[in-house]
Structure formats: C-alpha cells, structure tokens
Structure 1
Amino acid sequence: MPTFPDLLARRLAADPGQPLVTFYDDATGERTELSVKTFANWVSKTANLYAEELMLDPGDAVRIDLPPHSLGPVFLAAAWACGLRVSAEADVAVVGPDGLDRRAGTTVACALAPFATRFTTDLPEGVLDHGVLWPGQSDVFSPLEPTELEVPAPDDRRVLTDLDPLSPEGSRLFLGLVAGHGSLVLVAHPDERRWPAHSESERATDSVRTAQPTS
C-alpha cells in the first residue's frame, strides 16, 4: 500500500512549484498558499518535531485539534510520515488558540497566524509554542515506518471547499488530490459573497460545500 511520502515524492518530481494547499479565512482576509515544495518542507519540519522534539515513535498517537486551516493537512501528513495514529484519545495534542482548554500531557499550540509564527501573548505553563519550535527543525525527514494508506482514486481537480481536511471526508479528498495532480483551496468562515470571487481567482475546477455560508 502507498504511503504519504511516496505520494509527495511523486508530486515533487512532477511539479514542485504547483500550488497544493491554498487557504483563505474570510473572517480575517488572510490568504496563504503552499506549493508542493513548500508543503513538503513544512511536513518534513513537522515530522521532525514529532519524532525529535516530542519523541514520538511509529504507532504512538497524536490528537490534532485544529479548526479548518492550512496547518491541518501539514500536521496530518507529518503524522502519516511518522507512522503515528491520529486519535481523539492521545497524550500528545496539537491545538489552536481556542483549544488551550483541551490540553493533553504534552500540548503544542499553534497561533494560526500567517507563516505559522509564534504567539504574541504568553501561553499557559507547560504548553509548547509551535511557532517557536518548528522553524528550527530539519528540512529533511527520513521516514522509518510511515503509515500505509488506503488512497482514493487520483484526483486532478482544483477544489474550492470549506470541508475540514481533518475530517474523514476532508482527509480523503485531500489524499485523492495529492495522489493525482490536484490541489486544495480551503476556505474558513466562508462568506457567500466572496465564494464566486475565490473560485474565479483561484481557477477552481470544482466546489465542495459543507458549511452554511454567512451572508
């Protein structure tokens, strides 16, 4: 069965500059785009954070408790690269600013700011700041026992969606896009008035709607 590093290596060889994950937050106006090469770099750094900083081994569990965001696929892909189980019950948790009350034994908090920068306010004692830890991780990660994945049919679409990539449906969509030549345009807090403009500017070829847009 294929692994995520296998799928990503194929995409890197084919077109490293192609956009893979584009993220909009309609509540803040943020736009972030990760090319295949940048996404692979962020996955390597995050996998090293899991393995070297948090000392997680293949088979260990991690809880990824993030809202729809460009970092969601990064943490998920890095977990697959490390052979980790993604579970709601885990001693290690990755949370956003709104998840600090759902801490685990070891908690990594993400400010969810552009470019994955650090928090500008103090975190609770013992909580690790992702924005401090991840930039210093190695750009190279050598998977030992990556997760074997049931990959859906390769998907070549550029999909505009508000589907959470950490949900079962969202992760399956993302896997199919990576397995093909597709890409994801993720919109958080979607505003119905902006949806057509996002579709046009990003040259989306399909749309998957889940949340009720705001008017």
Structure 2
Amino acid sequence: MDSSPSVPQLMNQLRTVSPSEPRLIWYGPDQERIELSGRVLDNWVAKTCNLLVEELDAVPGTRVALELPGHWKTLVWALACWQVGAVPVDGATEPDRPVDIVVSSAATAAVDGPTQLLVLVALGALDLKWSGTLPAGAVDYAAEVRSYGDEFFDLPPADDAQTAVEQESGNLSMPVLFDRAAACGWTPGGVLLVPADLTLETTLAAAVHAWSTGGTLIVAHPGVAVSEQLVTSERVTDRVGA
C-alpha cells in the first residue's frame, strides 16, 4: 500500500483487509481489555460520523476539539472527523480560533458561546450513558451513538491537504502525518504498543502506520503495568515512545 494513503483508502483497509483481525486493543484500568476488529472499528467510526453529520451538522472544515485522554474512543473520534472532513483539534492545545464542537470526558466541560456544541463521552467499557448530570443541549455520546447507522455514505471529496490534527505547534496535514509515521521505522503489519499519555499526534501517527500496513495498535492506560507477559502474549513488535 502507498506510504501516504488517503483517508478513504485507510478506512477501506480496515473494513476489507482481514476485517475480523484485531486492529485496536485498549488496556484500561481495572483489568479492562477491549479488542476491536477492523470491521468493528469501522462500525464505530461510521456511527460516530453519522452522529457528527446528522446530530451536530458537521461539514468539511468543522473544527472539533477532542478534549479526551488517550483512549480507544479518542481514536474513533479522530477517524470520524477525518472521514467527514472535519478538523480534529488537540484538546491539550489552546486553539487560535473558536471550535464548533467540543468533545469531552470531563464533567466540568462547558461550551464557549451559544453556537458551540458539546458532546460528553463516557469512557468506561460498560457505560451506556453519561453518569452525571447532562448539561442542557449537550449530547450524550454513549447513549446516542448506537442508534446511528452502521455505514457512512456521505463521503466528502478526498483532500490531500486535509488537516490530520490541529495542535499548539500548528496544523499537521494528513500527508505529513503519514510521512512521519513511515519515517519512524516501525514494523509494517506489526503490533504497536502506545502509552495513552503520549501526544495525540504520536498516537495518530502510530495508528495510521499500523492500520495502513495491516497491523494492530495497542493503547495502554498510564495506570496499566506493561509486563513482559503482556508484550509477549500480544506479540508486540514495537513499543512507541519507549
């Protein structure tokens, strides 16, 4: 596969090339382990895309602040933004321009003005809704996302200059992200282990490398002890950031 595939090519890789194989594995607190095949990951992304477009009126260029920790749902949101042509804004960054949508897992999250939309994301594996009080007008991701379609058809035209992520150091384009991933020397088709506290840019680079080459990404919560048994059992080929 080309070292700099487009977003449609990346998503097609997930849904058609060994779609039952694990592509994203999350190790969370309390011995939580979640494994998503390419087909299941694509399904989550499609549902999130449809929520973005149908509920949140996202269009190409819509700016979406991902105020989420390193987590498998953060990657789902990033992929969904890419697929609808929206711009993911790193939540650790103070954006230069106002964002249109805030996606957060914090109970203290709030919108900045009447035109900004808020989505609250419960991160627990068994969370079917937001556990706290939902602010007026906010969207409960866990409660709503499953009702949306399993496929996303309203694909925007491919844009080689699409922003992969907006961060403090400036906008990172999709081709540059793929090029950075290719330059890291990670094993093609391997199993990449990423600590969840790395930057969003690094995690996304590892993700696109793994998925565009038919590999697997493992994201481990900072509280998870990465033992040699885990590394061996998951057949980890590269430890990102180690």
- Shorter chain as denominator, the TM-score bin is 0.7 to 0.9
Residue 139 of structure 1 aligns to a residue whose secondary structure is coil
* Residues 107-129 of structure 1: per-residue CA shift (max 9 Å, x gap): 10011121562123322222210
Aligned partner of 1:136 in structure 2 is: 147
Aligned partner of 1:4 in structure 2 is: 7
- Pick from 10, 14, 33 the counterpart of residue 17 of structure 2: 14
Spell out the pairing of 1:28-177 with structure 2 (5 A cutoff).
Answer: 28-87=30-89, 88=95, 89-96=98-105, 98=106, 100-104=108-112, 105-114=116-125, 117-142=128-153, 143-148=155-160, 149-150=174-175, 151-152=178-179, 153=182, 155-164=188-197, 167-177=200-210
Distance in 2, matches of 1:141 and 1:134, equals: 13
What is the deviation of 1:57? Answer: 0.8
**Is the aligned partner of 1:179 residue 2:187?**
no
Q: Identity of aligned pairs, percent? A: 26
Residue 60 of structure 2 aligns to a residue whose secondary structure is coil
Aligned partner of 2:240 in structure 1 is: 208
Deviates more, 1:15-24 or 1:4-13: 4-13
Distance in 1, matches of 2:229 and 2:134, equals: 37
Residue 220 of structure 2 aligns to a residue whose secondary structure is strand
> Is the alpha carbon distance of 1:166 and 1:72 closer, same or farther for their aligned partners in structure 2, counting shifts above 3 Å?
farther
* Contact 1:47–1:78 (8 Å) recurs in 2: yes
* Residues 83-123 of structure 1: per-residue CA shift (max 9 Å, x gap): 01122441211101x26335452110011121562123322
* Residues 144-168 of structure 1: per-residue CA shift (max 9 Å, x gap): 2355331233831101220557611
CA RMSD in angstroms, aligned pairs only: 2.2
The normalised TM-score by structure 2 is 0.78
Distance in 2, matches of 1:21 and 1:113, equals: 16
Q: Hey, which bits of structure 1, 4+ residues long, moved more than 4 A? A: 163-166
